[in-house]
Amino acid sequence: MATILAPPPEGSDLRPVRGQPGIPLVGNTLQVMRDPFATARKRYEQFGPVSWGWLLGQRIVTAQGPEAAEAVLVNRDKAFANGPAWSYFIGPFFYRGIMLLDFEEHLHHRRIMQQAFTRTRLQAYMDAMAPGIKDGIGAWEPGAGFKVYDHVKQLTLDLATDVFMGVELDRAEADRINGAFIDAVRAGTAYVRFPVPGLRWHKGVRARATLEEFFRRHLPAKREQSGDDLFAALCQAETDDGHRFTDDDVVNHMIFALMAAHDTTTITLTTMAYQLARHPEWQERLRAESRALGKPVLEFADLDALPSADLVMKESLRMVAPVPALPRRVVKDTSLLGFHIPAGTTVILPMLTNHHMPEWWPDPERFDPERFAPDRREDKAHKYAWAPFGGGAHKCIGLHFAGMQVKSILHQVLLRYRWSVPGGYEWPLDTTSLPSPKDGLPVRLERLEHH
C-alpha cells in the first residue's frame, strides 16, 4: 500500500513523495540489491521519478532519471549534502575523503587536490604504469576458465599501490594492504552496521586502522621527496595562495583515492572485457586500432587515437555504472521536480538503472557502442542522461586518470591476447555492493603469436 513520506507545508503547491515502506526493518533492501533494474522500473511506473522506501535501515527517496540527477547534482540552493549521506555507508572507512566533504570545505580541498591531477602529473602516472601493466598481464596464464575480474582487480590494485603510493612493497605487504582495501569497500553495504567480530563492518574498521598506520609510517619520507606518485603529489600540492594538506588530510585522501581508483577501473575493464568477448567483431575492431598505432605501450599523446575504444568504454559505463548510486542528505526543506523533500531525508540517484531507462535510451539492454558515435550521440538527449562520473561540484576528480588507465591496460591486453566466452553465456552480475560478476567472468584466453 502506498504511503506518503511527509505532507508538504500548508498552502504549498508541492506534491508529497509517495512510496512503499516494504517489510519492517529490511524494507526494500533485498529487492533493490538482487534486481535493481526490475525494482527501479516497477517504482517508476507506479510512482513516477520520485518515490520513497526503506533501504539499509533508513527512509530513502529514490530520484530517477536525468532531470532529477541534474537538480540534485547541480544543487543550486545547496540543499543536498554529500558528507552525511556517504558517511552512513562508508564514513568509518573512508573518513573525510574528497567525496565526503561539502560546500566551501570541499572546494578548498578540491583546489589543492587538483594539483595532483594536472596534465603533467597524469603523463607521469601513465609512464609509471606501463611497466607494471606489461609485467602484470605478461604473467597471465592462457587457457579456459581464466577469471577476468580477479586478474584485473589484482592488476589495478598492484598499479594503485605502485603508481599512487610510490612505495616498494614485497608481495606479502602488498597483499596485506590490498586486502585491507577490499575489506573497507565491502563494509559499506553491511547489513549489520556495528562491529561484530568476523562480520563486514568489523573487518572494515580493522582495515581502516591498517591503512592509516601504513600511510602515517610512510608520510614523513614523502614530505621530504618529490616523486611521480600520487602520495608525493598530495604531500607537495599547494594552491597559488599557499594552502597545503595537513598530514591527516593526506592520509584521508590517499585511502579514499586508492579505493576510488582501483575499484571503478576494475568494474569498467571487466564490463568491457565481457562485451568484447560476446561481440568478437568489436574486439577485432579495437585490436586493429591498437595495432595501427604500431607501439607496444600506449603513450599520453595516443589517448585520442583510439576512437573505437572510447565508444566501447562509454557504452560499458552506461550498461554497468561502476558507482551504482549517488546518495545525498537533504540539509534543509527543499523541492525536487515539484515534490516536497523534508530536511533529514536521504535521496539516492540510481545511476546504474538511470542508464537503462527506455525513455532516454532506445533498446537499453543492447550493447551498441555506436550510440555514442558523432552522428548519433544518444547521450546528448539530456546533459545528465549519461553520468557515470556524477556531475556538478562533486564530479569525479579522477575521471581523466580512469580513462587513461583503462586504455593503457586494454591496449596491451588486445595486442597480447584474444578472449572468448561460450555462445549464449550471460554473466551473473552481483549488485549487492559495487557491481561485479559472481563467477569472476571466466573466459578462454589465447596468447597471440605476433604482438
With a cut of 90, say whether residue 295 has pLDDT above it: yes
With a cut of 90, say whether residue 383 has pLDDT above it: yes
Annotated binding site for heme: 396
In the chain, how many domains are there? 1
The answer to whether the beta carbons of residues 336 and 72 sit under 8 Å apart is yes
With a cut of 60, say whether residue 451 has pLDDT above it: no
Domain carrying residue 263? 3-447
Which has the closest alpha carbon to 235: 119, 125, 112, 121?
A: 112
**What's residue 188's pLDDT?**
76
Average pLDDT over residues 118-141: 95
Phi, psi of 221 (to 5 degrees): -65, -35
Helix (H) or strand (E) holding 15: none
Angle between helices 399-416 and 307-319 (to 10 degrees): 110
> Distance between CA atoms of 180 and 197, rounded to whole angstroms?
15
**What's residue 35's pLDDT?**
87
With a cut of 90, say whether residue 105 has pLDDT above it: yes
Q: Which amino acid is at 163?
A: V
Neighbours of 340 (CB within 10 A): 22
Question: Which residue in this structure is represented by grid cell 500548508?
Answer: 10
Higher-pLDDT residue of 280, 169: 280
Neighbours of 299 (CB within 10 A): 15
Q: How many CA atoms lie within 13 A of 243 on its CB side?
A: 13
> Distance between CA atoms of 87 and 93, rounded to whole angstroms?
9
With a cut of 60, say whether residue 69 has pLDDT above it: yes
Cell for 178? Answer: 590490498
Radius of gyration of the chain (CA): 22
Average pLDDT over residues 333-351: 96
Average pLDDT over residues 207-212: 95
Classify residue 151 by burial, with Cβ atoms within 10 Å: 0-12, 13-18, 19+.
buried
pLDDT, tens digit (0-9, with 9 covering 90-100), for 407-420: 999 999 999 999 99
Question: Which residue in this structure is represented by grid cell 546533459?
Answer: 383
pLDDT, tens digit (0-9, with 9 covering 90-100), for 256-282: 988 888 889 999 999 999 999 999 999
Residues in the chain: 451
pLDDT, tens digit (0-9, with 9 covering 90-100), for 10-36: 999 999 999 988 776 667 777 777 788
Average pLDDT over residues 280-293: 98
Higher-pLDDT residue of 421, 179: 421
Higher-pLDDT residue of 208, 88: 208
The answer to whether the beta carbons of residues 262 and 157 sit under 8 Å apart is yes
- The domain that holds 408 is classified in CATH as 1.10.630.10
Cell for 18? Answer: 509517495
**What's residue 25's pLDDT?**
64
> Distance between CA atoms of 362 and 378, rounded to whole angstroms?
8
Higher-pLDDT residue of 157, 428: 428
Pairing, β 143-147 against β 18-19: unpaired
Higher-pLDDT residue of 73, 187: 73
Residues in CB range of 228: below 8 A, 6 or more apart = 121, 124, 125, 127, 128, 166
With a cut of 90, say whether residue 163 has pLDDT above it: no
Give 118's DSSP letter.
S
Helix (H) or strand (E) holding 441: none
The answer to whether the beta carbons of residues 404 and 303 sit under 8 Å apart is yes
Residues in CB range of 217: below 8 A, 6 or more apart = none
pLDDT, tens digit (0-9, with 9 covering 90-100), for 317-336: 999 999 999 999 999 999 99
> Distance between CA atoms of 56 and 195, rounded to whole angstroms?
16
Kindly report the average pLDDT of the chain as a whole number.
92
With a cut of 60, say whether residue 218 has pLDDT above it: yes
The answer to whether the beta carbons of residues 383 and 354 sit under 8 Å apart is no
> Distance between CA atoms of 354 and 415, rounded to whole angstroms?
34
Annotated binding site: 396
**What's residue 259's pLDDT?**
82
First to last CA, the chain: 61
Query: What DSSP string runs through 310-363?
Result: HHHHHHHHHHS-SS--EEEEE-S-EEETTEEE-TT-EEEE-HHHHTT-TTTSSS
Neighbours of 249 (CB within 10 A): 17
Helix (H) or strand (E) holding 4: strand 3-4
Alpha helices, DSSP H, located in 165-246: 171-186, 200-224, 230-236
CA of 335: how far to CAs of 49, 51, 222, 284, 342, in Å?
13, 13, 47, 49, 8
> Distance between CA atoms of 163 and 400, rounded to whole angstroms?
15
**What's residue 42's pLDDT?**
92
